[in-house]
Amino acid sequence: MPDFDTPENLPDKVDILRQVVEAKITQLTEANRAHRRKIFDLYTVFEISRHLNAMLETDSLLDSILLTAIGQMGVNGAAIAIQKNPEEEKLYFVKAKGLSTPPQAGWQDLFCEFDGIMCQFLLRRNQAITIKELCERIGHQTEEVNKLTEIEAELVIPLSVKNRLEGILILTGKISGVPFSENDTEFLSILANQLAVTIENARLYELEKNSNSQLRDTQNQLIRLEKLAALGELSATIAHEVNNPLGIIKNYLALISQQLAAEDPNTPFYQVIKEEVDRIAKIVRQLLDFYRPKAEEISAVDLSQVLDETVLLVEKQLTSSNIEVLRQLPRSLPKIEASAGQLKQVFLNLLMNAREVMPSGGKLEVSTRAENGYVEAEVADSGEGIPEEYMEKIFEPFFTTKKEKGGTGLGLSVCLGIVSKHGGTIRARNIKPKGAAFVVRLPLKEKT
């Protein structure tokens, strides 16, 4: 016989039903709250991405990423590791903010390699992970984990695009001391995908910008070399034509000098003529050197040694002009195949130019370095710098800003010719707060 509810047990049934309804309402409320949280998180990610995608300069972008992560998560500090060189499959610490304990060796150090256990694990996982879990998965004693522990990291977020690791975002603990929640890690994992895209876009933009800049430099150099070739032939023709009558004038001047007594009133006039003829002869020699630099033996050359020896030649003149010379000339550079004499001519010209732009004294920095199959020598002064309107003209033949001092405008053109014959480049740039630097870049001999 069916068991019907009686008036006595009806309140219990109602109470049970109310509890079920309340539990369902609570469940729906929590689901709705979580849903709204996800919508808000997605909107936040969208707004952050929209802001960061407008930034195409990598350095500023990385600063913004760190500030965004610190602000959104309420953490003490953050750091980021990315590739410094697209050709290297390695990640380096490049930026940090708010860390109480930075790595002892300093930033810009190698963090991990793409084929290492940590990078491979993070790439497969592709979501935020706590240091505790990371240690459990890859081990406590790995070098990467030691570095993370050193900076008191608590959360690691891989930044990947198309199965390629663009970088790693690292967060310390929250200021509140509360552990990271599941919502936090989920939010950061979504955000990380967008951050990786912004970093990739910025990298591609800078690569394109650098490629366009190199292309423009190459085009300008080709134009300059074509001008040099045409003007060189003209210079050689003029020099040869001038040399003949100039030789006759010098011979007659020698005859006149034998007939002049020291007290002769015409002696000062003779001296003026002789000095001007010598100046013409010097210009003619420069014209000939410009077209056809003296052939010298090519040998293995230490660029640091060549630059150091050139500085020694003019050190007294620099010191007497109250110019302090700072050297950074490592002797560990690989050698290049070059003419030491011609390179000394280049450096001598650059050093004398630097002396002239610092008439009241200053600092002259000479340095050498090796990178990407080249060695570079730099001569930097603390003068007033090069006016921007002159920057594209300074290597053109006969362009000079020293006409009142008798400048011919051939010095830097000769330097360009010598460096080009060595397969290298020479460029100028202004430096802050003031001054200018000339960089000579020469290729290393390929190993056979």
Sheet holding 323-328, edge to edge: 323-328, 362-371, 374-381, 436-443, 425-430
pLDDT above 80: residue 10: no
* pLDDT confidence tier of residue 1, bands split at 50, 70 and 90: very low
Q: What share of the chain in percent tops pLDDT 90?
A: 13
Task: Delimit the domains of the chain by residue range.
Answer: 49-204, 293-448
Q: From CA 255, how far away is CA 248, in angstroms rounded?
A: 11
* pLDDT confidence tier of residue 42, bands split at 50, 70 and 90: low
The answer to which of 64-73, 87-96, 194-203, 228-237 has the lowest mean pLDDT is: 228-237
Q: Per-residue b/e over 357-391, b at no fewer than 16 CB within 10 Å?
A: bbeeebebbbbbbbeeebbbbbbbbbbebbeeeee
Select the more confidently predicted residue: 10 or 256.
256
Select the more confidently predicted residue: 174 or 192.
174
* pLDDT confidence tier of residue 105, bands split at 50, 70 and 90: very low
CB 112 within 8 A of CB 148: no
Output the CA torsion sign for 29, 34, 37, 39: negative
CB 382 within 8 A of CB 344: no
Select the more confidently predicted residue: 74 or 11.
74
What is the value of pTM for the model shown? 0.46
Distance of CA 9 to the CA centre of its chain: 83
pLDDT above 70: residue 3: no
pLDDT above 60: residue 290: no
Tell me the backbone φ, ψ of residue 365, rounded to 5 degrees.
Answer: -110, 125
CB 307 within 8 A of CB 377: yes
Q: Please state whether beta strands 90-97 and 436-443 pair in parallel, antiparallel, or not at all (unpaired).
A: unpaired
Q: Which residues contact 131 (CB under 8 A, 6 or more apart)?
A: 145, 148, 149, 153, 154, 155, 156
Q: What is the dihedral of CA 122, 125, 131, 133, to 10 degrees?
A: -140
Sheet holding 153-161, edge to edge: 110-113, 90-97, 78-82, 164-172, 153-161, 129-130
Q: Which CATH number fits domain 49-204: 3.90.1150.10, 3.40.50.720, 3.30.450.40, 3.30.160.40?
A: 3.30.450.40
Q: From CA 444, how far away is CA 102, in angstroms rounded?
A: 37
For residues 361-380, average pLDDT: 92
CB 55 within 8 A of CB 192: no
Distance of CA 39 to the CA centre of its chain: 41
Q: From CA 399, how far away is CA 407, in angstroms rounded?
A: 9
Q: Average pLDDT of the chain?
A: 78
pLDDT above 90: residue 178: no
The pLDDT assigned to 229 comes to 66
Which of 439, 395, 444, 437 minimizes the C-alpha distance to 423? Answer: 444
> Burial, 438: exposed, middle or buried (Cβ in 10 Å; 0-12, 13-18, 19+)?
buried
* pLDDT confidence tier of residue 261, bands split at 50, 70 and 90: confident
Q: How many CB atoms lie within 10 A of CB 76?
A: 17
Provide the CATH number for the domain formed by 293-448 in this structure: 3.30.565.10
